[in-house]
Amino acid sequence: MDDASRKLFEKSRALVPGGVNSPVRACHNVDSLPLFIAEAHGCHLIDADGKNYIDFVLSWGPMILGHDAAPVTEAVCSAAKRGTSYGAPCPDEVALAEAVVAAMPGLEMVRMVNSGTEATMSALRLARAATGRDKVLKFIGCYHGHADPFLAAAGSGVATFSIPGTPGVPQSVVADTLLAPYNDLAAVEEIFAVHGPAIAAVIVEPVAANMGLVLPKPGFLEGLRALTTQHGSLLVFDEVITGFRVAFGGAQARFNIDPDLTTFGKIIGGGLPVGAFGGKRRYMELVAPQGNVYQAGTLSGNPLAMAAGLATVRALAVADYGALEARTSAFATALRDILAAKGVPVQMPTLASMFCPYFCEHEVTDFAGAKACDQKLFTNFYKQMRAQGIYLAPSGFETGMVSFAHTEDDFSRTLDAARKVAL
Ligand code: KE4
């Protein structure tokens, strides 16, 4: 059945930790083996055994146009013939910077990097330099990449006390990382009452998509904006997922919030390695070489990645986000009804082109709520859908993504597969 993937996985495990180059791809959370993908077109993946899947992962977000989208593929192939890296500025770096700044209401300047992790790591360093403060407040269950300061877990007892979330992160590094439950503005106010003068930044996924899909409660983001302004801290919107996905102008446009800094990744690279951080000129001008906050990267602004990102953003500038949201909402509602009819508790939050099946009775508003969902049921659902050629995110703590390439036939086939699932 998956012989080629199994053979590749066996070989890879001898060479690569866990056989994969990023942990979630190992499918441990759903008691499955990873599929090795040979090619992808539109919203379809073809695995190493030639089996076709309808893809709702979309490379964890970048492929909103669908795989092998003509303008992106043509731009990358054309750029490749002009060389793959110059180590010097290129025209498309300026064009992509211009396009991203024009799209995002909160941006006056932007710096390209090579991943979302680099973007958030750099944004935190900049916030600390700009304020002369060390502490950062993040939300439990939000993921901002694997830079040490963000790999903090809630300490025993005191919610705000952090302990290293993984071996290798020193306690000294997470000592300045404060934690609060997502959507809990009262907890944030309490933390500011104690630590306010020391807090450089609050970093938040404006729509949390790394604990399933958790929407901001009315007033939550506005409250963060007010508290950070009141205490002289910076508000950092981590839009690595939401940027160009929840709206062309990201969550900052959709929710009309003006962050001080914003981080990007995924979609702005069109599938190639690109991240970015940007924000108000008074802060961004502190970044080297204009200012003295050091940040650098050999492949930052790489011509191929810039060509892919630029082709993607230009296509999205004229795309119908409202129609995509309507299609996603109709599909997710139908999926929820099919699962509910099987007598299982199910929630199906959706926003724009994102959806997430939680198997629980309660509305999920934070990480504790996400953890309380039935992961065994999710695993059972995942396995049966994958066996029918539907490729869902291999974790109950990730988010389903829909692209402009998904058709009504793809939705219909997916719903038929869900009807056949036994839960
Ligand atoms: P990268 O370093 O993986 O490009 O981006 C880190 C990052 C930062 N901020 C947010 C909100 C993110 O979601 C991410 C990365 N997202 C995960 C999936 N939810 C990447 C998948 C993986 O780790 O393989």
SS3 for 284-301 is: HCCECCCCCECCCCCCCC
**φ and ψ of 225, to 5 deg:** -60, -45
Percent of the chain predicted with pLDDT > 70:
98
Reported pTM: 0.97
Ligand 1 close to Cβ of residue 325 (< 6 A)? no
Q: Which two tokens stand for residue 294?
A: 């050091």
Ligand 1 close to Cβ of residue 349 (< 6 A)? no
CATH class of the domain at 70-316: alpha beta
Q: Which two tokens stand for residue 37?
A: 């993908």
What would the mean pLDDT of 241-248 be, rounded to a whole number? 98
Q: Which residue of the set 176, 184, 238, 374 is catalytic?
A: 238
Query: Is residue 352 a contact partner of residue 246, using CB atoms and an 8 Å limit?
Result: yes
- From 21, 117, 397, the mutation candidate for ligand 1 (largest count of ligand atoms within 8 A of CB) is 117
Query: Is 31 a residue of the active site?
Result: no
β-pair type (109-113, 135-140): unpaired
What would the mean pLDDT of 69-94 be, rounded to a whole number? 98
Give residue 286's pLDDT: 98
Query: Is residue 348 a contact partner of residue 357, using CB atoms and an 8 Å limit?
Result: yes
d(CA 273, CA 204): 22
Task: Quick: pLDDT tens for 247-293.
Answer: 999 999 999 999 999 999 999 999 999 999 999 999 999 999 999 99
d(CA 248, CA 316): 7
- For 87-91, 165-169, 254-258, 416-420, which range has the lowest pLDDT when averaged over its residues? 165-169
Ligand 1 close to Cβ of residue 210 (< 6 A)? yes
d(CA 347, CA 363): 7
Query: Is residue 60 a contact partner of residue 391, using CB atoms and an 8 Å limit?
Result: no
Atom number, ligand 1, closest to the C-alpha of residue 239 = 11
Query: Is residue 235 a contact partner of residue 252, using CB atoms and an 8 Å limit?
Result: no
Write the residue with the smallest CA distance to atom 8 of ligand 1.
144
Q: Which CATH architecture has domain 3-65+320-420?
A: Alpha-Beta Complex (3.90)
What letter does residue 397 receive in the DSSP assignment?
T
Atom number, ligand 1, closest to the C-alpha of residue 24 = 24
Task: Quick: pLDDT tens for 16-51.
Answer: 999 999 999 999 999 999 999 999 999 999 999 999
Percent of the chain predicted with pLDDT > 90:
96
Atom number, ligand 1, closest to the C-alpha of residue 117 = 2
Task: Quick: pLDDT tens for 107-131.
Answer: 999 999 999 999 999 999 999 999 9
Cβ-based neighbour number of residue 218 at 10 Å: 9
Ligand 1 close to Cβ of residue 271 (< 6 A)? no
Give residue 255's pLDDT: 98
β-pair type (234-238, 37-41): unpaired
- Ligand 1 centre distance from Cα of residue 230 (Å): 30
Ligand 1 close to Cβ of residue 20 (< 6 A)? no
Atom number, ligand 1, closest to the C-alpha of residue 145 = 6
Q: How confident is the model at residue 162 (pLDDT cuts 50, 70, 90)?
A: confident
Residues of the chain by 3-state class (helix, strand, coil), percent to 5: 40, 15, 40
**φ and ψ of 374, to 5 deg:** -80, 100
Question: Is it the case that residue 159 has pLDDT exceeding 80?
Answer: no
Give residue 2's pLDDT: 79
Ligand 1 close to Cβ of residue 241 (< 6 A)? yes
Query: Is 86 a residue of the active site?
Result: no
d(CA 174, CA 41): 42
Ligand 1 close to Cβ of residue 264 (< 6 A)? no
Question: Is it the case that residue 160 has pLDDT exceeding 90?
Answer: no
Question: To 5 degrees, how large is the angle CA 61–CA 365–CA 378?
Answer: 60
Atom number, ligand 1, closest to the C-alpha of residue 116 = 5
Query: Is residue 156 a contact partner of residue 128, using CB atoms and an 8 Å limit?
Result: no
- What Rg, from alpha-carbon coordinates, does the chain have? 21
Give residue 361's pLDDT: 97
Give residue 1's pLDDT: 63
Partnered with residue 153 across adjacent β-strands are 163
Question: Is it the case that residue 158 has pLDDT exceeding 60?
Answer: no
How many Cα atoms within 13 Å fall on the side-chain side of residue 374?
15
Question: Is it the case that residue 154 has pLDDT exceeding 90?
Answer: no
Nearest to 80 by CA among 303, 312, 306: 303
Query: Is 358 a residue of the active site?
Result: no
Ligand 1 close to Cβ of residue 206 (< 6 A)? no
Query: Is residue 357 a contact partner of residue 382, using CB atoms and an 8 Å limit?
Result: no
Query: Is residue 139 a contact partner of residue 220, using CB atoms and an 8 Å limit?
Result: no
- Ligand 1 centre distance from Cα of residue 36 (Å): 20
CA 198 to each of CA 201, 221, 233, 259, 285: distance values in angstroms, whole numbers, following the listed order: 9, 21, 9, 19, 22
- Return the domain boundaries, the chain: 3-65+320-420, 70-316
Cβ-based neighbour number of residue 157 at 10 Å: 6
Question: Is it the case that residue 157 has pLDDT exceeding 60?
Answer: no
Element at 110 (helix H, strand E): strand 109-113
Contacts 24+ apart (CB under 8 A), 251-257: 251/206, 251/207, 251/221, 252/104, 252/105, 252/106, 252/206, 253/104, 253/105, 254/352, 255/206, 255/216, 255/221, 257/106, 257/206, 257/221, 257/222, 257/225
Q: Which residue has the tokens 């058709």?
A: 407
